[in-house]
Structure 1
Amino acid sequence: MDFIFPIIFSAIAMTLIVGGRYLLSSGFFAWLTQRLQPGKYDQLKPQMGREIRWSLYSAAIYGVPAGIVAWGWQNAGWTRIYIDPAAYPSWYLPLSFLLYLLIHDTWFYWTHRLFHEPSWFKRAHAVHHDSRPPTAWAAMSFHPIEAISGAIVIPALVIAIPIHVGVLGLVLLTMTLMGVTNHMGWELFPRWLVQGRLGKWLITATHHEKHHELYRGNYGLYFRFWDRICGTDIGLGDFDAGRSKRISQ
Protein backbone atom coordinates (compact mmCIF):
# COMPACT_ATOMS: atom_id res chain seq x y z
CA MET A 1 0.00 0.00 0.00
CA ASP A 2 3.05 2.26 0.07
CA PHE A 3 2.37 3.25 -3.52
CA ILE A 4 -1.01 4.86 -2.79
CA PHE A 5 0.26 8.23 -1.62
CA PRO A 6 2.83 8.58 -4.45
CA ILE A 7 0.06 7.87 -6.98
CA ILE A 8 -2.21 10.46 -5.34
CA PHE A 9 0.65 12.98 -5.36
CA SER A 10 1.32 12.22 -9.04
CA ALA A 11 -2.37 12.69 -9.89
CA ILE A 12 -2.47 16.04 -8.06
CA ALA A 13 0.75 17.18 -9.71
CA MET A 14 -0.52 16.23 -13.17
CA THR A 15 -3.82 18.00 -12.51
CA LEU A 16 -1.88 21.18 -11.74
CA ILE A 17 0.20 20.70 -14.88
CA VAL A 18 -2.87 20.17 -17.08
CA GLY A 19 -4.64 23.12 -15.50
CA GLY A 20 -1.58 25.32 -15.88
CA ARG A 21 -1.14 24.25 -19.50
CA TYR A 22 -4.76 25.16 -20.17
CA LEU A 23 -4.47 28.58 -18.53
CA LEU A 24 -1.25 29.40 -20.37
CA SER A 25 -2.33 28.19 -23.82
CA SER A 26 -5.90 29.49 -23.73
CA GLY A 27 -4.77 32.66 -22.00
CA PHE A 28 -2.17 33.33 -24.68
CA PHE A 29 -4.62 32.86 -27.55
CA ALA A 30 -7.29 34.91 -25.74
CA TRP A 31 -4.70 37.69 -25.45
CA LEU A 32 -3.79 37.23 -29.12
CA THR A 33 -7.46 37.51 -30.04
CA GLN A 34 -7.72 40.74 -28.11
CA ARG A 35 -4.73 42.11 -30.03
CA LEU A 36 -5.72 40.92 -33.51
CA GLN A 37 -9.52 40.93 -33.19
CA PRO A 38 -10.23 43.86 -30.82
CA GLY A 39 -13.62 43.69 -29.16
CA LYS A 40 -14.39 40.15 -30.32
CA TYR A 41 -14.83 38.83 -26.78
CA ASP A 42 -16.19 42.00 -25.18
CA GLN A 43 -19.76 40.69 -24.91
CA LEU A 44 -18.69 37.19 -23.89
CA LYS A 45 -17.22 37.71 -20.41
CA PRO A 46 -19.92 35.73 -18.53
CA GLN A 47 -19.55 32.92 -21.07
CA MET A 48 -15.76 32.92 -20.72
CA GLY A 49 -16.14 32.66 -16.94
CA ARG A 50 -18.22 29.49 -17.41
CA GLU A 51 -15.71 28.12 -19.91
CA ILE A 52 -12.83 28.59 -17.49
CA ARG A 53 -14.75 27.00 -14.61
CA TRP A 54 -15.77 23.91 -16.60
CA SER A 55 -12.26 23.66 -18.08
CA LEU A 56 -10.61 23.61 -14.66
CA TYR A 57 -12.98 20.80 -13.63
CA SER A 58 -11.91 18.99 -16.80
CA ALA A 59 -8.24 19.58 -15.94
CA ALA A 60 -8.70 17.53 -12.77
CA ILE A 61 -10.45 14.76 -14.70
CA TYR A 62 -7.67 14.69 -17.31
CA GLY A 63 -4.98 14.98 -14.65
CA VAL A 64 -5.95 11.97 -12.54
CA PRO A 65 -5.49 9.19 -15.15
CA ALA A 66 -2.47 11.02 -16.58
CA GLY A 67 -0.90 11.14 -13.11
CA ILE A 68 -1.58 7.45 -12.49
CA VAL A 69 -0.04 6.51 -15.82
CA ALA A 70 2.94 8.81 -15.24
CA TRP A 71 3.62 7.07 -11.92
CA GLY A 72 3.22 3.69 -13.58
CA TRP A 73 5.70 4.62 -16.30
CA GLN A 74 8.33 5.72 -13.82
CA ASN A 75 7.84 3.04 -11.18
CA ALA A 76 5.98 0.00 -12.46
CA GLY A 77 6.59 -0.33 -16.19
CA TRP A 78 2.90 -0.01 -17.00
CA THR A 79 3.39 1.88 -20.24
CA ARG A 80 5.08 1.51 -23.63
CA ILE A 81 6.73 4.95 -23.38
CA TYR A 82 10.43 4.72 -24.19
CA ILE A 83 13.33 7.15 -23.90
CA ASP A 84 16.04 5.70 -26.14
CA PRO A 85 15.34 6.75 -29.79
CA ALA A 86 17.28 3.69 -30.96
CA ALA A 87 14.80 1.35 -29.28
CA TYR A 88 12.75 1.40 -32.48
CA PRO A 89 13.62 2.23 -36.12
CA SER A 90 13.84 5.95 -36.87
CA TRP A 91 10.85 5.74 -39.23
CA TYR A 92 8.71 4.67 -36.29
CA LEU A 93 8.97 8.13 -34.66
CA PRO A 94 6.80 9.96 -37.24
CA LEU A 95 4.66 6.85 -37.71
CA SER A 96 3.81 6.67 -34.00
CA PHE A 97 2.96 10.38 -33.99
CA LEU A 98 0.53 9.94 -36.88
CA LEU A 99 -0.86 6.72 -35.43
CA TYR A 100 -1.67 8.37 -32.11
CA LEU A 101 -3.40 11.29 -33.86
CA LEU A 102 -5.41 8.96 -36.12
CA ILE A 103 -6.60 6.77 -33.24
CA HIS A 104 -7.39 9.77 -31.07
CA ASP A 105 -9.25 11.40 -33.94
CA THR A 106 -11.26 8.24 -34.55
CA TRP A 107 -12.25 7.96 -30.89
CA PHE A 108 -13.17 11.64 -30.77
CA TYR A 109 -15.24 11.53 -33.94
CA TRP A 110 -17.44 8.63 -32.85
CA THR A 111 -17.85 9.71 -29.22
CA HIS A 112 -18.58 13.25 -30.41
CA ARG A 113 -21.32 11.93 -32.69
CA LEU A 114 -22.70 9.93 -29.77
CA PHE A 115 -22.78 13.06 -27.61
CA HIS A 116 -24.98 14.68 -30.24
CA GLU A 117 -27.67 12.07 -29.71
CA PRO A 118 -30.47 13.97 -27.90
CA SER A 119 -30.20 12.19 -24.55
CA TRP A 120 -26.39 12.47 -24.39
CA PHE A 121 -26.44 16.03 -25.66
CA LYS A 122 -28.85 17.16 -22.96
CA ARG A 123 -27.00 15.20 -20.26
CA ALA A 124 -23.46 16.32 -21.08
CA HIS A 125 -22.52 17.88 -24.40
CA ALA A 126 -24.78 20.92 -24.02
CA VAL A 127 -22.16 22.35 -21.66
CA HIS A 128 -19.66 22.63 -24.49
CA HIS A 129 -22.23 24.07 -26.86
CA ASP A 130 -23.11 26.81 -24.40
CA SER A 131 -20.10 28.47 -26.03
CA ARG A 132 -21.77 30.37 -28.87
CA PRO A 133 -19.55 31.55 -30.36
CA PRO A 134 -16.67 29.61 -28.78
CA THR A 135 -13.68 31.47 -27.41
CA ALA A 136 -10.08 30.47 -26.77
CA TRP A 137 -11.15 29.49 -23.24
CA ALA A 138 -13.61 26.83 -24.52
CA ALA A 139 -11.08 24.17 -25.52
CA MET A 140 -11.62 22.09 -22.36
CA SER A 141 -15.08 23.34 -21.40
CA PHE A 142 -16.74 19.95 -20.94
CA HIS A 143 -19.25 18.31 -18.65
CA PRO A 144 -17.43 15.73 -16.47
CA ILE A 145 -18.99 12.85 -18.40
CA GLU A 146 -17.55 14.16 -21.66
CA ALA A 147 -14.24 15.00 -19.98
CA ILE A 148 -13.88 11.38 -18.85
CA SER A 149 -14.40 10.15 -22.41
CA GLY A 150 -11.55 12.37 -23.55
CA ALA A 151 -9.26 11.82 -20.58
CA ILE A 152 -8.85 8.07 -21.04
CA VAL A 153 -7.58 8.11 -24.64
CA ILE A 154 -3.90 9.04 -24.31
CA PRO A 155 -3.38 7.00 -21.10
CA ALA A 156 -4.87 3.97 -22.87
CA LEU A 157 -2.68 4.50 -25.92
CA VAL A 158 0.59 4.77 -23.98
CA ILE A 159 -0.23 1.47 -22.29
CA ALA A 160 -0.88 -0.25 -25.62
CA ILE A 161 1.31 1.38 -28.30
CA PRO A 162 5.03 2.22 -28.01
CA ILE A 163 5.89 5.91 -28.25
CA HIS A 164 9.01 7.94 -27.59
CA VAL A 165 8.61 10.39 -24.74
CA GLY A 166 9.48 13.31 -27.07
CA VAL A 167 6.88 12.22 -29.63
CA LEU A 168 4.32 11.93 -26.85
CA GLY A 169 5.10 15.51 -25.90
CA LEU A 170 4.51 16.52 -29.53
CA VAL A 171 1.16 14.69 -29.52
CA LEU A 172 0.11 16.57 -26.38
CA LEU A 173 1.28 19.87 -27.84
CA THR A 174 -0.69 19.23 -31.04
CA MET A 175 -3.78 18.29 -29.03
CA THR A 176 -3.51 21.48 -26.96
CA LEU A 177 -2.84 23.86 -29.83
CA MET A 178 -5.53 22.47 -32.11
CA GLY A 179 -8.05 22.35 -29.27
CA VAL A 180 -7.49 26.03 -28.49
CA THR A 181 -7.07 27.44 -32.00
CA ASN A 182 -10.13 25.60 -33.30
CA HIS A 183 -12.30 27.36 -30.72
CA MET A 184 -11.03 30.94 -30.97
CA GLY A 185 -13.90 32.04 -33.21
CA TRP A 186 -11.53 33.27 -35.93
CA GLU A 187 -9.13 31.62 -38.32
CA LEU A 188 -5.45 31.71 -37.37
CA PHE A 189 -4.23 30.00 -40.53
CA PRO A 190 -4.01 31.70 -43.95
CA ARG A 191 -6.78 31.33 -46.50
CA TRP A 192 -4.50 29.49 -48.95
CA LEU A 193 -3.99 26.70 -46.40
CA VAL A 194 -7.59 26.49 -45.16
CA GLN A 195 -9.07 26.44 -48.66
CA GLY A 196 -6.22 24.53 -50.29
CA ARG A 197 -5.58 20.80 -50.61
CA LEU A 198 -4.23 20.44 -47.08
CA GLY A 199 -7.19 22.31 -45.62
CA LYS A 200 -9.56 19.78 -47.15
CA TRP A 201 -8.23 17.19 -44.72
CA LEU A 202 -7.38 19.20 -41.59
CA ILE A 203 -9.62 20.63 -38.88
CA THR A 204 -9.18 24.36 -38.33
CA ALA A 205 -11.37 27.04 -36.77
CA THR A 206 -13.15 27.54 -40.10
CA HIS A 207 -14.29 23.92 -40.03
CA HIS A 208 -15.07 23.62 -36.32
CA GLU A 209 -16.89 26.95 -36.08
CA LYS A 210 -19.55 25.53 -38.40
CA HIS A 211 -20.13 22.75 -35.92
CA HIS A 212 -20.78 25.26 -33.15
CA GLU A 213 -23.06 27.31 -35.42
CA LEU A 214 -25.11 24.44 -36.85
CA TYR A 215 -24.91 21.80 -34.07
CA ARG A 216 -24.35 19.07 -36.66
CA GLY A 217 -21.56 17.71 -38.82
CA ASN A 218 -17.82 18.41 -38.58
CA TYR A 219 -17.31 16.07 -35.64
CA GLY A 220 -13.56 15.46 -36.10
CA LEU A 221 -10.70 16.62 -33.91
CA TYR A 222 -7.61 16.75 -36.13
CA PHE A 223 -8.68 15.45 -39.52
CA ARG A 224 -11.73 15.61 -41.77
CA PHE A 225 -11.28 11.96 -42.77
CA TRP A 226 -14.22 10.47 -40.86
CA ASP A 227 -16.48 13.41 -41.65
CA ARG A 228 -15.80 12.96 -45.35
CA ILE A 229 -16.21 9.17 -45.24
CA CYS A 230 -19.43 9.34 -43.23
CA GLY A 231 -21.02 12.25 -45.07
CA THR A 232 -20.93 14.63 -42.11
CA ASP A 233 -18.41 17.09 -43.55
CA ILE A 234 -19.88 20.57 -43.97
CA GLY A 235 -17.82 22.34 -46.60
CA LEU A 236 -17.53 26.04 -47.29
CA GLY A 237 -20.13 25.79 -50.04
CA ASP A 238 -22.69 24.48 -47.55
CA PHE A 239 -22.23 27.31 -45.08
CA ASP A 240 -23.44 30.87 -44.99
CA ALA A 241 -21.09 32.88 -47.21
CA GLY A 242 -20.91 35.82 -44.82
CA ARG A 243 -19.83 33.67 -41.90
CA SER A 244 -17.29 31.81 -44.05
CA LYS A 245 -15.75 35.08 -45.14
CA ARG A 246 -15.64 36.41 -41.60
CA ILE A 247 -13.92 33.39 -40.10
CA SER A 248 -11.48 32.88 -42.95
CA GLN A 249 -10.06 36.37 -42.77
Structure 2
Amino acid sequence: MGSPLSPALLAIAASALAMTAIVGVRYLITSGLFALVTHRVRPGLYAGMNRQIRAEIGWSLLSAAIYGLPSGIVAWGWQAHGWTRIYTQASAHPLWWMPLSVILFLFAHDTWFYWTHRWMHRPRVFRIAHAVHHASRPPTAWAAMSFHPLEALTGAVVVPALVFLIPIHAAMLGLVLTIMTVMGITNHMGWEIFPRALVHSRLGHWLITASHHHRHHEQYRCNYGLYFRFWDHLCGTDRGVSAP
Protein backbone atom coordinates (compact mmCIF):
# COMPACT_ATOMS: atom_id res chain seq x y z
CA MET A 1 0.00 0.00 0.00
CA GLY A 2 1.52 3.32 -1.06
CA SER A 3 2.15 6.13 1.35
CA PRO A 4 -0.47 8.90 1.41
CA LEU A 5 0.24 12.12 -0.39
CA SER A 6 1.75 14.83 1.74
CA PRO A 7 -0.43 17.82 2.72
CA ALA A 8 1.79 20.05 0.57
CA LEU A 9 1.22 17.94 -2.56
CA LEU A 10 -2.51 17.88 -1.90
CA ALA A 11 -2.50 21.65 -1.46
CA ILE A 12 -0.56 22.13 -4.72
CA ALA A 13 -2.95 19.82 -6.58
CA ALA A 14 -5.96 21.68 -5.16
CA SER A 15 -4.44 25.02 -6.15
CA ALA A 16 -3.70 23.80 -9.69
CA LEU A 17 -7.25 22.45 -10.06
CA ALA A 18 -8.69 25.70 -8.77
CA MET A 19 -6.61 27.78 -11.18
CA THR A 20 -7.57 25.47 -14.06
CA ALA A 21 -11.23 25.98 -13.20
CA ILE A 22 -10.75 29.75 -12.95
CA VAL A 23 -8.98 29.97 -16.32
CA GLY A 24 -11.54 27.70 -17.97
CA VAL A 25 -14.58 29.50 -16.60
CA ARG A 26 -13.03 32.89 -17.36
CA TYR A 27 -12.50 31.75 -20.96
CA LEU A 28 -16.06 30.48 -21.36
CA ILE A 29 -17.59 33.64 -19.88
CA THR A 30 -15.43 36.21 -21.66
CA SER A 31 -15.27 34.51 -25.06
CA GLY A 32 -18.97 33.75 -24.78
CA LEU A 33 -19.70 37.41 -24.00
CA PHE A 34 -17.73 38.66 -27.01
CA ALA A 35 -19.29 35.97 -29.22
CA LEU A 36 -22.69 37.27 -28.11
CA VAL A 37 -21.62 40.83 -28.93
CA THR A 38 -20.53 39.59 -32.37
CA HIS A 39 -23.92 37.93 -32.88
CA ARG A 40 -25.65 41.21 -32.04
CA VAL A 41 -23.32 43.59 -33.94
CA ARG A 42 -22.31 41.36 -36.87
CA PRO A 43 -25.17 38.85 -37.21
CA GLY A 44 -24.26 35.89 -39.37
CA LEU A 45 -20.50 36.46 -39.18
CA TYR A 46 -19.97 33.04 -37.55
CA ALA A 47 -22.65 31.28 -39.62
CA GLY A 48 -21.60 27.80 -40.73
CA MET A 49 -18.62 27.78 -38.34
CA ASN A 50 -20.05 25.53 -35.62
CA ARG A 51 -17.53 22.74 -36.25
CA GLN A 52 -14.60 25.18 -36.07
CA ILE A 53 -15.99 26.80 -32.92
CA ARG A 54 -16.39 23.42 -31.20
CA ALA A 55 -12.74 22.66 -32.00
CA GLU A 56 -11.68 26.08 -30.68
CA ILE A 57 -13.53 25.49 -27.41
CA GLY A 58 -12.04 22.00 -27.01
CA TRP A 59 -8.45 23.14 -27.59
CA SER A 60 -9.02 26.18 -25.35
CA LEU A 61 -10.27 24.13 -22.41
CA LEU A 62 -7.23 21.87 -22.76
CA SER A 63 -5.08 25.01 -22.75
CA ALA A 64 -6.85 26.13 -19.56
CA ALA A 65 -5.55 23.02 -17.79
CA ILE A 66 -2.02 23.72 -19.06
CA TYR A 67 -2.21 27.34 -17.93
CA GLY A 68 -3.69 26.30 -14.59
CA LEU A 69 -0.82 24.02 -13.52
CA PRO A 70 2.07 26.54 -13.25
CA SER A 71 -0.32 29.26 -12.08
CA GLY A 72 -1.62 27.00 -9.33
CA ILE A 73 1.87 26.05 -8.16
CA VAL A 74 2.94 29.70 -8.04
CA ALA A 75 -0.27 30.76 -6.28
CA TRP A 76 0.30 28.09 -3.62
CA GLY A 77 3.93 29.10 -3.19
CA TRP A 78 2.98 32.76 -2.82
CA GLN A 79 0.30 32.09 -0.22
CA ALA A 80 2.09 29.36 1.72
CA HIS A 81 5.71 30.48 1.54
CA GLY A 82 5.81 34.05 0.27
CA TRP A 83 7.28 33.09 -3.07
CA THR A 84 7.13 35.66 -5.88
CA ARG A 85 7.40 39.44 -5.80
CA ILE A 86 3.64 40.01 -5.66
CA TYR A 87 2.76 42.46 -2.91
CA THR A 88 -0.53 43.62 -1.38
CA GLN A 89 0.53 46.66 0.64
CA ALA A 90 0.45 49.74 -1.60
CA SER A 91 3.17 51.35 0.51
CA ALA A 92 5.66 48.58 -0.33
CA HIS A 93 6.70 50.46 -3.47
CA PRO A 94 6.16 54.02 -4.77
CA LEU A 95 2.72 54.55 -6.30
CA TRP A 96 4.27 55.36 -9.69
CA TRP A 97 5.62 51.82 -9.76
CA MET A 98 2.09 50.38 -10.11
CA PRO A 99 1.41 51.57 -13.68
CA LEU A 100 5.06 51.06 -14.62
CA SER A 101 4.93 47.44 -13.46
CA VAL A 102 1.91 46.85 -15.69
CA ILE A 103 3.77 48.28 -18.69
CA LEU A 104 6.85 46.17 -17.90
CA PHE A 105 4.75 42.99 -17.61
CA LEU A 106 2.98 43.67 -20.89
CA PHE A 107 6.19 44.53 -22.73
CA ALA A 108 8.00 41.46 -21.38
CA HIS A 109 5.05 39.24 -22.28
CA ASP A 110 4.83 40.84 -25.73
CA THR A 111 8.56 40.28 -26.31
CA TRP A 112 8.34 36.62 -25.32
CA PHE A 113 5.25 36.15 -27.47
CA TYR A 114 6.73 37.83 -30.54
CA TRP A 115 9.86 35.70 -30.61
CA THR A 116 8.22 32.38 -29.69
CA HIS A 117 5.47 33.14 -32.20
CA ARG A 118 8.01 33.72 -34.97
CA TRP A 119 9.77 30.50 -33.97
CA MET A 120 6.48 28.62 -34.20
CA HIS A 121 6.14 29.74 -37.80
CA ARG A 122 9.20 27.73 -38.78
CA PRO A 123 7.75 24.99 -41.02
CA ARG A 124 8.41 21.97 -38.81
CA VAL A 125 7.28 23.65 -35.57
CA PHE A 126 4.25 25.07 -37.36
CA ARG A 127 3.15 21.63 -38.53
CA ILE A 128 3.63 20.10 -35.08
CA ALA A 129 2.01 22.78 -32.95
CA HIS A 130 1.01 26.16 -34.34
CA ALA A 131 -1.17 24.78 -37.16
CA VAL A 132 -3.85 24.13 -34.54
CA HIS A 133 -4.27 27.84 -33.93
CA HIS A 134 -4.22 28.69 -37.63
CA ALA A 135 -6.92 26.12 -38.31
CA SER A 136 -9.25 28.94 -37.29
CA ARG A 137 -9.97 30.48 -40.68
CA PRO A 138 -11.08 33.11 -39.96
CA PRO A 139 -10.62 33.22 -36.18
CA THR A 140 -13.61 33.75 -33.89
CA ALA A 141 -14.04 35.05 -30.34
CA TRP A 142 -13.58 31.45 -29.17
CA ALA A 143 -10.09 31.11 -30.72
CA ALA A 144 -8.08 33.18 -28.22
CA MET A 145 -6.81 30.08 -26.34
CA SER A 146 -7.15 27.55 -29.15
CA PHE A 147 -3.62 26.16 -28.94
CA HIS A 148 -1.84 22.85 -29.30
CA PRO A 149 -0.49 21.82 -25.85
CA LEU A 150 3.09 22.67 -26.87
CA GLU A 151 2.06 26.19 -27.82
CA ALA A 152 -0.07 26.54 -24.70
CA LEU A 153 2.96 25.60 -22.60
CA THR A 154 5.03 28.45 -24.08
CA GLY A 155 2.31 30.89 -23.04
CA ALA A 156 1.54 29.35 -19.67
CA VAL A 157 4.98 29.97 -18.18
CA VAL A 158 5.27 33.71 -18.91
CA VAL A 159 3.27 35.40 -16.13
CA PRO A 160 4.23 32.78 -13.49
CA ALA A 161 7.88 33.48 -14.34
CA LEU A 162 7.51 37.27 -14.37
CA VAL A 163 6.05 37.40 -10.84
CA PHE A 164 9.41 36.12 -9.58
CA LEU A 165 11.30 38.87 -11.42
CA ILE A 166 9.20 42.06 -11.36
CA PRO A 167 7.49 43.40 -8.20
CA ILE A 168 3.79 43.90 -8.87
CA HIS A 169 0.80 44.76 -6.72
CA ALA A 170 -1.89 42.08 -6.69
CA ALA A 171 -4.44 44.50 -8.17
CA MET A 172 -2.04 45.42 -10.99
CA LEU A 173 -1.49 41.73 -11.69
CA GLY A 174 -5.25 41.39 -12.00
CA LEU A 175 -5.20 44.28 -14.47
CA VAL A 176 -2.48 42.56 -16.53
CA LEU A 177 -4.54 39.36 -16.67
CA THR A 178 -7.63 41.34 -17.67
CA ILE A 179 -5.78 43.10 -20.51
CA MET A 180 -4.32 39.76 -21.60
CA THR A 181 -7.78 38.19 -21.71
CA VAL A 182 -9.57 41.06 -23.45
CA MET A 183 -6.90 41.63 -26.08
CA GLY A 184 -6.52 37.92 -26.72
CA ILE A 185 -10.23 37.69 -27.52
CA THR A 186 -10.78 40.98 -29.35
CA ASN A 187 -7.77 40.34 -31.59
CA HIS A 188 -9.43 37.15 -32.83
CA MET A 189 -13.06 38.20 -33.19
CA GLY A 190 -12.93 38.48 -36.98
CA TRP A 191 -14.03 42.12 -36.88
CA GLU A 192 -12.69 45.34 -35.41
CA ILE A 193 -14.33 46.32 -32.13
CA PHE A 194 -12.25 49.48 -31.62
CA PRO A 195 -13.01 52.77 -33.41
CA ARG A 196 -11.29 53.40 -36.75
CA ALA A 197 -10.06 56.70 -35.32
CA LEU A 198 -8.00 54.73 -32.78
CA VAL A 199 -6.85 51.98 -35.15
CA HIS A 200 -5.52 54.49 -37.70
CA SER A 201 -4.15 57.01 -35.17
CA ARG A 202 -0.56 57.52 -34.08
CA LEU A 203 -1.34 55.46 -30.97
CA GLY A 204 -2.93 52.76 -33.11
CA HIS A 205 0.30 52.59 -35.12
CA TRP A 206 1.86 50.99 -32.02
CA LEU A 207 -1.04 48.91 -30.72
CA ILE A 208 -2.37 45.56 -31.92
CA THR A 209 -6.08 45.15 -32.53
CA ALA A 210 -8.13 42.76 -34.66
CA SER A 211 -7.32 44.75 -37.81
CA HIS A 212 -3.61 44.06 -37.29
CA HIS A 213 -3.80 40.46 -36.09
CA HIS A 214 -6.35 39.46 -38.74
CA ARG A 215 -3.70 40.15 -41.36
CA HIS A 216 -1.44 37.64 -39.57
CA HIS A 217 -4.14 34.99 -39.97
CA GLU A 218 -4.43 35.93 -43.66
CA GLN A 219 -0.74 36.07 -44.59
CA TYR A 220 0.98 34.09 -41.77
CA ARG A 221 4.49 35.60 -42.18
CA CYS A 222 3.84 38.98 -40.59
CA ASN A 223 2.28 40.81 -37.62
CA TYR A 224 3.54 38.49 -34.89
CA GLY A 225 3.01 40.71 -31.83
CA LEU A 226 0.49 40.39 -29.03
CA TYR A 227 -0.06 43.85 -27.52
CA PHE A 228 2.33 46.21 -29.28
CA ARG A 229 3.71 46.61 -32.79
CA PHE A 230 7.18 47.55 -31.50
CA TRP A 231 8.95 44.30 -32.45
CA ASP A 232 7.08 44.05 -35.76
CA HIS A 233 8.20 47.56 -36.68
CA LEU A 234 11.76 46.98 -35.48
CA CYS A 235 12.16 43.65 -37.27
CA GLY A 236 10.37 44.60 -40.48
CA THR A 237 7.52 42.14 -40.03
CA ASP A 238 4.70 44.68 -39.78
CA ARG A 239 2.37 44.54 -42.78
CA GLY A 240 -0.16 47.07 -41.55
CA VAL A 241 -3.82 46.39 -40.92
CA SER A 242 -6.46 44.35 -42.67
CA ALA A 243 -10.17 45.09 -42.87
CA PRO A 244 -11.92 42.29 -41.00
TM range (shorter): over 0.9
Out of 57, 74, 77, the residue aligned to residue 72 of structure 1 is 77
Structure 1 residue 174 and structure 2 residue 174: aligned? no
Listed as ranges, the gaps of 5+ residues in structure 2 are 1-5
Structure 1 residue 88 and structure 2 residue 96: aligned? no
Q: Report the secondary structure of 1:96's partner residue.
A: helix
In 2, the alpha carbon distance for the partners of 1:4 and 1:160 equals: 25
Q: Deviations over 1:211-246 (max 9, x none)?
A: 00111110000000000000000114xxxxxx62xx
In the alignment, which residue of structure 2 is the partner of 1:45? 50
TM-score (normalised: structure 1): 0.95
In 2, the alpha carbon distance for the partners of 1:2 and 1:49 equals: 38
In the alignment, which residue of structure 2 is the partner of 1:239? none
Percent of residue pairs bearing the same amino acid type: 64
Structure 1 residue 151 and structure 2 residue 142: aligned? no
The runs of at least 4 aligned residues of structure 1 exceeding 6 Å deviation read none
In 2, the alpha carbon distance for the partners of 1:218 and 1:43 equals: 27
Out of 215, 221, 238, the residue aligned to residue 220 of structure 2 is 215
In the alignment, which residue of structure 2 is the partner of 1:199? 204
In 2, the alpha carbon distance for the partners of 1:44 and 1:192 equals: 30
In 1, the alpha carbon distance for the partners of 2:240 and 2:11 equals: 49
Give the letter for the 1:23 counterpart: L
In 2, the alpha carbon distance for the partners of 1:161 and 1:213 equals: 36
In 1, the alpha carbon distance for the partners of 2:239 and 2:65 equals: 33
Give the letter for the 2:65 counterpart: A
Please tell me the root mean square deviation across aligned C-alpha atoms, in Å.
Answer: 0.7
Out of 62, 69, 72, the residue aligned to residue 67 of structure 2 is 62
Aligned pairs, number = 239
Q: 1:63: Cα distance to partner?
A: 0.5
Listed as ranges, the gaps of 5+ residues in structure 1 are 237-242
In the alignment, which residue of structure 1 is the partner of 2:116? 111
Q: Deviations over 1:13-52 (max 9, x none)?
A: 0000000000000000000000000000011110000000
In 2, the alpha carbon distance for the partners of 1:95 and 1:219 equals: 24
Q: Report the secondary structure of 2:159's partner residue.
A: helix
In the alignment, which residue of structure 2 is the partner of 1:133? 138
The structure where helix makes up a greater share of residues is 1
Out of 5, 9, 13, the residue aligned to residue 10 of structure 2 is 5
Q: 1:2: Cα distance to partner?
A: 2.3
Q: Superposed, which structure 2 residues align to 1:11-22 within 5 Å?
A: 11-22=16-27
